Structure 1
Amino acid sequence: MNEATNNQQSKKSFPSGEGFRKGLRLVILGGGESGVGTALLGKAKGYEVFVSDKGKIKDKYKDVLLNNEIEFEDEQHTESKILSADIVMKSPGIPDKVALIKKIREAGITVVSEIEFASKFTEATLVAITGSNGKTTTATLTHHLLQQDLDVGLAGNIGDSFAKQILEKNHNNYVLEISSFQLDDIIDFKPKIAILTNITPDHLDRYDYKFENYIASKFRVVENQTEDDYFIYDADDEVILEYMKTHQIQSKKLPFSLTRVMEQGAYLDNNNIIITIDNNKITMPTENLALEGKHNVKNAMAASTVAHLLKIRKQTIRESLENFQGVEHRLEHVLKINKVQYINDSKATNVNATYFALESMEAPTVWIVGGVDKGNDYKELFPFVNEKVKAIICLGKDNAKLMDTFGKMVDVIIETEYMNEAVKIAYKLADAGDNVLLSPACASFDLFENYEDRGRQFKNAVRNL
């Protein structure tokens, strides 16, 4: 979706919780976690609800819809039932270029994402986290820091749906991991605290292959904020800084940096994170951080800034940073076998994520890479491959680009379409003291259901060695 479409959409009124009229027809496209959560909340708030999924709805979600007497269909879209909607909540996986979505918009029907719809029914303090990389770790870490002292839910792109949690638990605070696709369909959504971890090219197929459209989409997280709200962002990210030169942001800015002193926000000084908000300064040592790597120091800065804003005690923040166990499929240490460490970074679905993974390797590494290439430019990985990678295993249906790119950089490069075989080859290639790293830099859909399936297959293969 481009900026023009977005701005046009955002001017439309949305039937909110306050101006609520019973009997509005809510059509939900997509019968997954966010769709079914929205259906439950919509029904509870008096909407007439219909769920439609072009694919097959999983049995566990069908059971919920049946038990709650919510009308649904799967493996088809009945246009007459969909175009009779007052509001459509569409799954973030459905692109705007789909003919049905174009028809819905042409009919003047309001299209929203789950986070837009659900936020109408809560007075909670919302912390919204977006970015090309690091958002899952930052969201999970932020939730971990806050939950010691506050009633807080974790939702968005992670865990139970936001809508369902509002219906069943209605926490006082929510940490929301939010993708650009979810932000594309907001209208009034306004987080108290917004975090932008970084912006690198990703998902460009959804943005007409224009990086500027993707950047604008990420910045929608702050578009409804006022001077009473906060914007936490990476001040070392040139893409973010360039955008901010030409676009006014209303909220209070709290940047974080590894390289520069920040009067307001967070910076690194001799292995200490210094956070200053309105002359209130706290210091957090980094030597005992549970998470490794420079990128995780940044994630810790962002999460700690939120905790400081929400008045979490300094001691609680420090202890939580030191005992946080990390996120599954993100630089997850699986097992050490014959003094070789096996690391699952399946969540690295783009080059920038793999950059952070390779940067953090401190031993010779057998690197498992590959999958569905989203127009990747691997140049930024060359220094790490030359310095740290001893062998490459290409795991994908089409490995030609990887073989051409890295074939002359390493002595050993092998291709396979099977995770078990990839792990067995890695076992033979790795020596004591080495790492075996699954960090694909690609989407997973050629051989796996999703990155979670890929990561779990890797872990199972390692355990079966």
Structure 2
Amino acid sequence: MDTEGLLQNQNVLVLGLAKSGYAAASILHKKGVHVVVNDQLPFEKNESAQILAEKGVEVICGSHPIELFDLHSIDILIKNPGIRYENVMVKEALKRGIPVWTEVELAYHLTDAPFIGITGSNGKTTTTTLVYEMMKADAKKALVAGNIGTAASEVAYQATEDEWIVTELSSFQLMGTYAFRPKISLLLNVFDAHLDYHHTRENYELAKQQIYRNQSETDVAVVNLDDDVVTRLATCSKAEKVYFSVKQELEHGACIKDGMILFHNEPVMPLKDVVLPGEHNLENILATICIVKTAGVANQAIQKVLSSFKGVRHRMQYVTTIKDRMFYNDSKATNILATKKALSSFDKPVILLAGGLDRGNGFDELKPHMNSVKAIITFGETAPKFEKLGKELGIQQVKRVDNVEQAASAAFNLSDTGDVILLSPACASWDQYKTFEERGDMFINAVHMLK
């Protein structure tokens, strides 16, 4: 699938110049497609816009002029995933019947390489990384893309048709897809998340369901048999279903039996040899095995990765131990479920560092998982809500600070020998930090300063 047929005679408006928008605009310009870029940031402060302008791309910055649609006879709008559908340009495009894509859809039209599409409310980064590492360990040709790193369109533009494109996909990205069809798809789980963006649970589920919707009988859909929502959403897929379950023993698919990880009832490796911490990671591991075994990866490669892989950065990442206090960075825990899973990983006393963007929800769901929490250090917009939570649970030490750097120091000062100091915010970072990665890096730096 190449843009020669689909986009060559189209006029494309790229809205938003974050990583994905810049990649989309650059590639379309290289392909000779007529592309116009619109970004809210003023041109003089917009390095990406300046680079594109030097290449000859028309860039309009500082406002969103609706007249662009008529001036350039726009046929397709490609938007940054984070831009809401309430945006004036997006609303105008939809009103005119103009397709609104994310650059994942563009990526699909740029290559004949097969996609592995991975999504879910939690665990998709770990799973995507595991799939990629196992394919590399088995000398399979694979590239990693999407929400985890390099923009999907940039990877697809360079990919050859014999390379797998292992793609982590958010609901924001999937919502803007039309024809995107992964050869192997996975929806790990579905919990309430990003409802401020999608407005309803139904809209969120429909966005996630896009991972399955366009598949055919020659594709494979990996399905979490333990999640009723996932199994319901997967019914739309015509693909062959491959199931995994942490709770049930399966004849077909991935499961655990008598301390052994099985796939299609054949042993893959002993569970005791897996070094990735946390019971919640079993779901990610079984899903990964379904994907890589479908792609032809040998057990030896799976064993090699799972016996050495300790996790991804910002997801239950062990940082260091200082005076017998262990520090963990779980900055990627941007919702309540992720923090629940983090808390369930420890049986030692925990000092929880939490807070961030206020999406209007409370945190009562955390209460059953807070038995080991001896203190809370909170920050950001939701600090008052965590203070209320601590008071209701009778936690004696609850302290508000300005940011994660102060939180690391405050937690250390409150800690005792043998404590776990856990950054697991249960909130997005955007009230104070550009990304959860930036938040996590600031925490890591602050921890190392304590030495």
Q: TM-score range by the shorter chain?
A: over 0.9
Cα–Cα, structure 1 residues 261 and 21, in superposed 2: closer, same or farther, change >3 Å?
A: closer
Aligned length: 444
Q: For 1:107-186, list aligned pairs within 5 A.
A: 107-148=96-137, 149-170=139-160, 172-186=163-177
Deviates more, 1:215-224 or 1:76-85: 76-85
- What is the CA RMSD across the aligned residues, in angstroms? 2.0
Distance 1:344 1:82 in 2: 45
Cα–Cα, structure 1 residues 342 and 82, in superposed 2: closer, same or farther, change >3 Å?
A: farther
1:73 maps to 2:23? no
Match of 1:32 in 2: 18
SS in 2 for 1:287: helix
Question: Structure 2 residue aligned with 1:273, among 261, 264, 269?
Answer: 261
Match of 1:95 in 2: 84
> In percent, how many aligned pairs have the same letter?
35
Give the C-alpha shift of residue 168 in structure 1.
3.3
Question: Structure 2 residue aligned with 1:199, among 175, 190, 205?
Answer: 190
1:408-436: CA deviations, max 9, x gaps? 32121111123232111111111111100
Match of 2:365 in 1: 380
Q: For 1:17-416, list aligned pairs within 5 A.
A: 17=3, 19-20=5-6, 22-55=8-41, 61-62=48-49, 64-83=51-70, 84-148=73-137, 149-170=139-160, 172-208=163-199, 210-243=200-233, 247-276=235-264, 281-386=266-371, 388-409=372-393, 410-416=395-401
Match of 2:403 in 1: 418
What letter corresponds to residue 163 of structure 1 in structure 2?
A: S
Residues 366, 430 of structure 1: 8 Å contact kept? yes
Give the C-alpha shift of residue 159 in structure 1.
1.3
What letter corresponds to residue 355 of structure 1 in structure 2?
A: K
1:367-421: CA deviations, max 9, x gaps? 00111132434333222212x1111111123422222222132121111123232
Give the C-alpha shift of residue 242 in structure 1.
4.6
Distance 2:303 2:164 in 1: 21
SS in 1 for 2:3: coil
Question: Structure 2 residue aligned with 1:428, among 413, 419, 441?
Answer: 413
Deviates more, 1:24-33 or 1:163-172: 163-172
Give the C-alpha shift of residue 73 in structure 1.
2.7
Cα–Cα, structure 1 residues 373 and 43, in superposed 2: closer, same or farther, change >3 Å?
A: same
Residues 417, 447 of structure 1: 8 Å contact kept? no
TM-score, structure 2 as length reference: 0.93
Q: For 1:446-465, list aligned pairs within 5 A.
A: 446-465=431-450
Deviates more, 1:451-460 or 1:372-381: 372-381
SS in 2 for 1:167: helix
What letter corresponds to residue 436 of structure 2 in structure 1?
A: Y
Residues 353, 425 of structure 2: 8 Å contact kept? yes
Residues 286, 297 of structure 1: 8 Å contact kept? no
Cα–Cα, structure 1 residues 426 and 69, in superposed 2: closer, same or farther, change >3 Å?
A: same
Cα–Cα, structure 1 residues 402 and 447, in superposed 2: closer, same or farther, change >3 Å?
A: same
Distance 1:167 1:229 in 2: 22
Cα–Cα, structure 1 residues 64 and 271, in superposed 2: closer, same or farther, change >3 Å?
A: farther
Cα–Cα, structure 1 residues 412 and 88, in superposed 2: closer, same or farther, change >3 Å?
A: same
Gaps of 5+ in 1: 1-14
Distance 2:175 2:280 in 1: 26
What letter corresponds to residue 189 of structure 2 in structure 1?
A: N
SS in 2 for 1:260: coil
Give the C-alpha shift of residue 360 in structure 1.
0.6
Distance 1:178 1:134 in 2: 11
SS in 2 for 1:408: helix
1:156-195: CA deviations, max 9, x gaps? 1121111112223446110111111111111111001111
Give the C-alpha shift of residue 264 in structure 1.
1.7
Gaps of 5+ in 2: none
SS in 2 for 1:188: coil
